Structure 1
Amino acid sequence: MGLTSRSLLYTVAFAAVLCVALMVWVWPRLSGKGPLPVLGRLGSILLTQLSIMAVVLLAVNANVGFFGTWNQLLGRVDKAPVNVVEMNTGGPRATVDESRNGLIQPTDGENVESFPGYPKGPEDKVGAIRSVRVIGKRSQAVNPAYVYLPPQYFQKQYQRTRFPVMVAVSGYPGGRASVARNLRVPLNAARLLEEKKMSPTVIVMLAPTIASPRDTECVDVPDGPQAETFFTKDLPEALRSAYRVGDHATSWGVLGYSSGGTCALQLALRAPEVYPVAASLSGDFRIKNDIATGNLFGSGDKAEERKREHDLMWRLENKPVPPVSLLVATSRKGEKNYEATEQFVRAAQGKGMDVAQIVLPEGSHGFKTWQQEIGETMRWMSRKLTFPQDVQDRPKKH
């Protein structure tokens, strides 16, 4: 049974109820004196508490999406296979070109059909969500993802069209399930398309870390995981090899919540030639080491320099500012990053950047707040991305 499956949650809940009933039944028989009855009572209490705690933890994980699979929970990181195909550098893309040996490989979904917004009906009417893993040629990373394909992707009049891309990044320790289910990105995409408030867009949903359970924060760690390389080089290459998506950066944007929002801002300011549009929901403006990240910047003379390079306030003051479009979202009450967000917006003014804000009067660092913000964020980003881009009429090479 999957870690987030309802069958596992119901099974453990049933076992917890049995444990409670068993303890009530056996407790009078353990009322005697001596070591054995005492050990029996302690064992009954421990077993009951563990079973109840297991139900609570499974329910919280299923709702928030901290860990999507048993392998993520146990820290088993998938390794990139040796059999990797070269990227298709030209010509029209197939409608969907996922393959077992490609840079985008199909996988089994994690209860995708139960997520809000999961397409039900013909693909050319409602679109589709693909469960895949993305193979990083340079980073040697393998990152599970959901890819949302809008209904227009399957329609005849768009069969030679490249679509814009939104890369939606979860917080830590969330993952693709958090973006799809808790942030409701597919649900909002379907609604915005129906209301004609968003262009048809391919959306890829994934986690910011490429070395779970370590929080790599979209940083190229010296002698460690190359998360920035994965997002700026491997991910665009893989998506272009399998889907009809834009070749030019004007059709690419990245958004995220919490540490995923931090990642989005970092990618836009550090790699504007890849992601010139970014949106951050409750993200931070600098990256720091903590227990989950470990040492992200290495040691020696270069360590402090690398750390400064990931401080966006420092970059605004000391680096040429690229002409990117950014959206930052926060709340006046309930969000710790409100002052930092206001400081960033003030510092960005007059720097040649296009900066927009969503400021709620009251909110929290959680999905209840981000669900209020994500629809308008996607609408804003869609206005910034170029659509359509025609596909070159040349034969595919493989």
Structure 2
Amino acid sequence: MLSPLDLSLVNGPIPAAATVAAAVALTYLAIRKNRTWWTRVLPIVVSACAVVVLGLSYVVDHVWKPWPEPLPVILTVWVGAALTALALAAVRLGTGRWYGRVFGVLLALGVTTSAMVATNAHFSQYPTMRAVLDVFRNDRVDLNEAAPSPSRVVDVPAGKKLADVWTKPDDMPDKGTVSESTIPGDFPARPAWIYLPPAYHTMPRPKLPVIVLLAGQPGNPRDWFDGGRITDNMDAYAAQHEGLAPIVVVADQLGTPTANPLCLDSALGKSETYLARDLPKWIKQRLTVDERREAWTIAGFSQGATCSVQLAVRAPDVYGNFVALAPQREPTLSTRHETVKAAFGGDEAAFVRVNPMDILARQTFPRTAGIIVAGRDDATYRKADAEVFEACRKAGMDVLWKELPYGHDWNMAREGLFGSLPWLAGRTGLA
């Protein structure tokens, strides 16, 4: 039987019930028999909350501008609903019996919880309650314990692939491990999260392919383990392939959750050098990996997908493959003018030299392969994804187009990445 912890928080009865419950709670909080309530208190509270929410949206979208897209309308609506509920409950604290006041506070907290459920359903960050509870579980393993230096490695003869010579040892563990590690470089990156599949924990150890994976902005490396379910899905893939799966290094290309150094070397930081040189160097020194460029993949979601296209054309000697899950047309902070001003002091030519769409227009990449995945209902990036795909195709890349029935959310990212694994396995020698 399906555990209650595995019921969907994205589709089905739970999000619907949360919305209905919020509507009922708000209605109760808004209704009172007092005439002054209807003519003065309620209009003032609702108007004040609306002004606060609209003002907050304006500041975020037009003053602070931590990311190039405006706040989603659904997020603004739910913030307004939660704020209104809390304000109405606060006003009610001054009158009525104690249990009525307590009930009002509980209803306001219920609306706030419903807002969180609805927001999660929009972004699909936590698909189930089990995924939510995983946030409070620490099952990470120290990297020195998880990845000691191997005494022997699997020998793969010339002309063969790892899958041709691999035999699963009897003592191989059923699950992979997850570790955190700070990777040094000139960029102030937060610790990377590293998934090592079951086959890595065997002797002789196979030299495995690598996926360098990037989350979106705002975000952090952990997002791919919470929203992307890396551990569950990679373990499932490994179970079907004799323990073999890629090593996944989820790196930080941002520095802070809301920063955006554009995965370039600019006034905003040396993010490109970190991803193209420092990070691969550390991985090859610290982990047992297949060092062929064909075995290396750069992948990401949203802003991380934009970065994956950038690295595919800016560091083709390192990354032979890329998986771009809903990329932007080009690295951006808002408009091109604002981006060029912030990153290059207004030097348009400097931006053109490193902008992937401009590079794709003047260079060819016949040895690079990739997949571009778009959400069919992604009104913000669906058109840009198609433009990037066409530019890659014209530049001679072996590029595939995939469209999934989602918006710009983690449903698309999860399915897009793991749906690409069979193709990657063929490219990298796992199958």
**TM > 0.5 fold call:** yes
Q: Which residue of 2 aligns with 1:96?
A: 147
Q: Deviations over 1:371-393 (max 9, x none)?
A: 332221223223222459xxxxx
Q: Which residue, out of 215, 220, 223, partners 1:175?
A: 220
Partner of 1:176, secondary structure, is coil
For residues 214 and 202 of structure 1, the distance between their equivalents in structure 2, rounded to whole angstroms, comes to 27
Q: Which residue, out of 293, 297, 306, partners 2:343?
A: 297
Task: Note if 1:151 corresponds to 2:198.
Answer: yes
The residue correspondences of 1:229-240 to structure 2 (distance < 5 A) are 229-240=273-284
For residues 154 and 234 of structure 1, the distance between their equivalents in structure 2, rounded to whole angstroms, comes to 25
Amino acid at match of 1:299: G
Q: Deviations over 1:116-174 (max 9, x none)?
A: xxxxxx993233333313232333x2322221111111122x33x32111111111112
| Larger relative helix fraction | 2
Q: Which residue, out of 202, 225, 228, partners 2:247?
A: 202
Task: Note if 1:279 corresponds to 2:323.
Answer: yes
Q: Which residue of 2 aligns with 1:346?
A: 390
Q: Which residue of 1 aligns with 2:263?
A: 218
For residues 358 and 197 of structure 1, the distance between their equivalents in structure 2, rounded to whole angstroms, comes to 27
Using the TM superposition, give the Cα deviation of residue 21 of structure 1 relative to its aligned residue in structure 2, in angstroms. 8.4
For residues 279 and 197 of structure 1, the distance between their equivalents in structure 2, rounded to whole angstroms, comes to 24
For residues 228 and 153 of structure 1, the distance between their equivalents in structure 2, rounded to whole angstroms, comes to 28
Amino acid at match of 1:384: R
Using the TM superposition, give the Cα deviation of residue 58 of structure 1 relative to its aligned residue in structure 2, in angstroms. 10
For residues 202 and 232 of structure 1, the distance between their equivalents in structure 2, rounded to whole angstroms, comes to 17
Larger Rg: 2
Amino acid at match of 1:27: T
Q: Deviations over 1:19-62 (max 9, x none)?
A: 998975642489xxxxxxxxxx9xxx99x979975995699689
Percent identity of paired positions between Structure 1 and Structure 2 = 21
8 A Cα contact 1:217 1:227, kept in partner: yes
Partner of 2:421, secondary structure, is helix
Q: Which residue of 1 aligns with 2:295?
A: 251
Using the TM superposition, give the Cα deviation of residue 94 of structure 1 relative to its aligned residue in structure 2, in angstroms. 9.2
1:319–1:152 CA distance, 2 compared to 1 (3 A)? same
Q: Deviations over 1:312-340 (max 9, x none)?
A: 33222223435211110113443433333
For residues 294 and 316 of structure 1, the distance between their equivalents in structure 2, rounded to whole angstroms, comes to 19
Using the TM superposition, give the Cα deviation of residue 266 of structure 1 relative to its aligned residue in structure 2, in angstroms. 0.6
Return the TM-score normalized by structure 2.
0.59
Using the TM superposition, give the Cα deviation of residue 367 of structure 1 relative to its aligned residue in structure 2, in angstroms. 1.3
Q: Which residue, out of 376, 383, 401, partners 1:357?
A: 401
For residues 216 and 423 of structure 2, the distance between their equivalents in structure 1, rounded to whole angstroms, comes to 21
Task: Note if 1:125 corresponds to 2:173.
Answer: yes
For residues 148 and 266 of structure 2, the distance between their equivalents in structure 1, rounded to whole angstroms, comes to 32
Amino acid at match of 2:263: C
Q: CA RMSD in A?
A: 4.1
8 A Cα contact 2:375 2:408, kept in partner: no
Q: Which residue of 2 aligns with 1:227?
A: 271
> Any unmatched runs of 5+ in structure 1?
1-15, 31-40, 66-92, 99-121, 389-398
Task: Note if 1:336 corresponds to 2:336.
Answer: no
8 A Cα contact 1:172 1:208, kept in partner: no
Instruction: Give the total of aligned pairs.
Output: 303
| Larger relative strand fraction | 1
Return the TM-score normalized by structure 1.
0.64
Q: Which residue, out of 228, 233, 236, partners 1:188?
A: 233
For residues 209 and 192 of structure 2, the distance between their equivalents in structure 1, rounded to whole angstroms, comes to 17
8 A Cα contact 2:364 2:396, kept in partner: no
Q: Which residue of 2 aligns with 1:375?
A: 418
8 A Cα contact 2:375 2:403, kept in partner: yes
For residues 285 and 198 of structure 1, the distance between their equivalents in structure 2, rounded to whole angstroms, comes to 37
8 A Cα contact 1:171 1:207, kept in partner: no
Q: Which moved more, 1:349-358 or 1:257-266?
A: 349-358
Amino acid at match of 1:202: I
8 A Cα contact 1:209 1:216, kept in partner: yes
For residues 22 and 282 of structure 1, the distance between their equivalents in structure 2, rounded to whole angstroms, comes to 42
8 A Cα contact 1:278 1:381, kept in partner: no
Between the two structures, name the one with larger relative contact order (CA 8 Å, sep ≥ 6). 1
8 A Cα contact 1:168 1:203, kept in partner: yes
Q: Which residue, out of 340, 350, 362, partners 1:306?
A: 350
Task: Note if 1:137 corresponds to 2:185.
Answer: yes
8 A Cα contact 1:95 1:244, kept in partner: no
Partner of 1:192, secondary structure, is helix
Using the TM superposition, give the Cα deviation of residue 18 of structure 1 relative to its aligned residue in structure 2, in angstroms. 12
Using the TM superposition, give the Cα deviation of residue 239 of structure 1 relative to its aligned residue in structure 2, in angstroms. 1.8
> Any unmatched runs of 5+ in structure 2?
1-82, 127-143, 150-169
8 A Cα contact 1:330 1:341, kept in partner: yes
1:295–1:53 CA distance, 2 compared to 1 (3 A)? farther
8 A Cα contact 1:261 1:284, kept in partner: yes
Q: Deviations over 1:61-81 (max 9, x none)?
A: 89748xxxxxxxxxxxxxxxx
